[in-house]
Amino acid sequence: MKAQLLQMTTPDGPFTILAQDGVVLSSGWTDNPGELTGQIHPSLRPGTLEPVTGLGDISSAVEAFYAGDPVPAMSVPVRQVSGPFRVHAWDVLRLVQPGQPVTYARYAELAGNPRAVRAAASACAFNAAALFVPCHRVIRTDGTLGGFRWGLPVKRSLLAREAG
């Protein structure tokens, strides 16, 4: 299986996207595609990567995000495989509004299981499609940032950008 590889320059550093047929498989703030392929479920993992200079609506959504409009990124198709709770939790993340981060506890509630705070946090940790599935919008109950695969400075920047 072949996927397209796009590397973009953003104010938060290099942003790399792996996509197939207009669907994001993995993305994140790195210039090393190897940091993204391991996040893709083995059944979806591409054997080869084809560098491209654009990905249509996908790259336009990233540009729109950094121009101040985070909405288009939520309509970019994403393909991730996992168990039922995690897949549902990823869908729920796309409903969290920009500028209105939720706590891990609230995120578990939104995902339908208020007692599954650790499972909700795990969904964030295993999210391969950063930005398009906005795990950066989940914070700790005490208001601190918690974790983020791409570093707390990037998470802080994304939240500040969305807050206006």
Which residues are known catalytic residues? 135
For residue 41, give every residue at least 6 positions away whose Cβ sits within 8 Å of its Cβ, in sequence order, or none. 80, 81, 82, 128
For residue 7, give every residue at least 6 positions away whose Cβ sits within 8 Å of its Cβ, in sequence order, or none. 14, 15, 16, 17, 31, 51
Please name the residue that has the structure tokens 């973009």. 8
DSSP 51-71: E-S--THHHHHHHHHHTT--G
Q: How far apart are CA 68 and CA 82, in angstroms?
A: 32
Q: How far apart are CA 23 and CA 17, in angstroms?
A: 10
Is residue 49 within 8 Å of 6, Cβ to Cβ?
no
CA 57 to chain centroid, in Å, comes to 16
